[in-house]
Structure 1
Amino acid sequence: MFVSKWNSPRFCGACWAFSAVGAIEGARAIKTGNLTDLSMQQLLDCDDTDMGCGGGLMNWAFQYDEDSVGLCSLNDYPYAYHRHWFWGCSRYAPYCTPLPDTRVSKYVNITETEEDLKAAIAIQPVSVAVMADGVSWQFYRDGIYSSPCEDPKTINHGVLAVGYGSDENGDYWLVKNSWGGYWGQGGYIKLGRNVGSESVGGSSCILTLASRPILKDEE
């Protein structure tokens, strides 16, 4: 499970929910032309396979959504950290209405190559997992960050790969974090791409556990 104590000022390890919801939001926006913030708290409260603020996996979140009725908007089911610990789902979920085109039909695991991750990002935002330990990651501000994937067992943080590109410093993956706009480059980090680390999981292990949701067709 991905649990990052740095995930929020209130120490809720909800990175997995931010990543999964971001991927679903992106897929829905591409499909419908409507970008609406969806509820992370619904996953924290109602996804019994994951462990709320105690951590989780994006694929399990996609599976919850596939087996449920879809996601409510963030406005109708706002983020409350760990405050819904005991009665969250039964108390709050009945009072929001899941939005159309928010239910996952299935999810696809991305092969661990840079070309396949590029191809997936060209379709939609992709949930990825990274190794976010160390002062250099916590206090990242700008530039391209390249760190080897020394051990996949150290992967501890779910984020969202939203693009890729190149600048004067080299090639990069553009990744959205869940730590707010004051972190990194307005909430984003550029991870090194084409830096010779593909065979060992990519920069910060970004290639190892990438996946994307495919939404259910609705009439």
Structure 2
Amino acid sequence: MASSLKWRCMSLALVVLALYTTQAMSRNLQELSMEDRHEQWMTNYGLVYKDSVEKEMRFQVFKTNVEYIDTFNKVGDRTYVLSVNGFADQTNEEFIASRNGYKNSPERKSGTAFRYENVTAVPSSMDWRKKGAVTPIKDQGQCGSCWAFSTVASMEGITQLSTGKLISLSEQELVDCDVNGEDQGCEGGLMDDAFDFIVQNHGLATEGTYPYKAIDGACDKKKEASHAA
């Protein structure tokens, strides 16, 4: 009787150990899979960390972000899906700090309200990409120049609507040359002041003439004078 009870206890212990081992192996495989994804992601974006400590810290951020993306996409009833991009090893706080350079001025300039003139049927929505008024996606990089990109995108759109020509214009010109008042290159700026700069400068150069570098630089007066729009 005692021997039978002993074998039952041993069998139960072996079952528990097997279950624990299986769960541990499953966790290890999941972790390894995520590590593989991180390594592949690093290769795709050409990233190299300074040491193992930074790599482990970035891996944990990457893991958290990827798990969120995977969970979000599994819901299935979204109008869009998320994907892993070049910012996957950054926290929300880091991403905002490095790219959100918008300076909300407490003294916003007043103006007349926009009104449609002689228009009776206004569509509920408009996709300006289909109208050919939007240039391809651009990347501001590690520079808080969102204000410049927003301003330039508006300029590109209105230029296309008024002339029929879609021209990629220069954000770097604003970063380098529009440095008075609120606008301070990669340290942030305000679209209102950028529009004033464009008016005073009589336009902007093209992206090809004054290419984007994602860093603060000295204003190139010759390129600045090459107005395209």
- Same fold? TM cut 0.5: no
TM-score (norm 2): 0.38
TM-score (norm 1): 0.39
Pick the structure with more strand per residue. Answer: 1
Task: Please say which structure displays the higher CA radius of gyration.
Answer: 2
Higher relative contact order (CA 8 A, sep 6+): 1
Pick the structure with more helix per residue. Answer: 2
